[in-house]
């Protein structure tokens, strides 16, 4: 087993990459970014391991909603969210307990 690697994350958010790819963007200022990229930029997250929160795109979460992206807050694994394009990123960050 490898040695442990330290991360400064307080929380982790899993975002379905397959859902994001199907939408082809829809988030951010011009509506051209994926949800993960738009949320990272909105929260000012630059350094991955040293960031206060991890926003991670995962292969597929198996929900496959039409016109939305599946998001899982690791601190609340029993409540998954479907986020539609153009959603308010401030409201999403508050809902999943992230500091904006």
Domain with residue 73: its CATH number is 3.40.30
Q: What is the pLDDT along the chain (100 residues), one digit of tens a residue?
A: 779 988 999 899 999 999 999 998 899 888 899 999 999 999 998 888 888 899 999 999 999 999 999 999 999 999 999 999 999 999 999 998 887 5
38/78 Cα distance (integer angstroms): 24
Position 29 in a domain: yes
pLDDT at residue number 88: 94
Prediction pTM value: 0.89
Count of domains in the chain? 1
Q: 58 and 16 in contact (C-beta within 8 Å)?
A: yes
Position 21 in a domain: yes
Position 30 in a domain: yes
82/6 Cα distance (integer angstroms): 30
**The domain containing residue 48 runs over which residues?**
11-95
């Amino acid at each position: 087993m490898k040695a442990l690697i330290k991360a400064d994350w307080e929380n982790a958010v899993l975002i379905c990459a397959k859902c994001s790819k199907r939408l082809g963007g829809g988030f951010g200022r011009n509506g051209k970014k994926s949800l993960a990229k738009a949320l990272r930029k909105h929260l000012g997250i630059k350094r991955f391991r040293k960031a206060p929160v991890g926003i991670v795109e995962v292969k597929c979460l198996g929900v496959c909603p039409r016109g939305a992206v599946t998001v899982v807050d690791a601190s609340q694994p029993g409540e998954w969210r479907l986020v539609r394009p153009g959603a308010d990123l401030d409201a999403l960050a508050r809902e999943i307990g992230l500091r904006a």
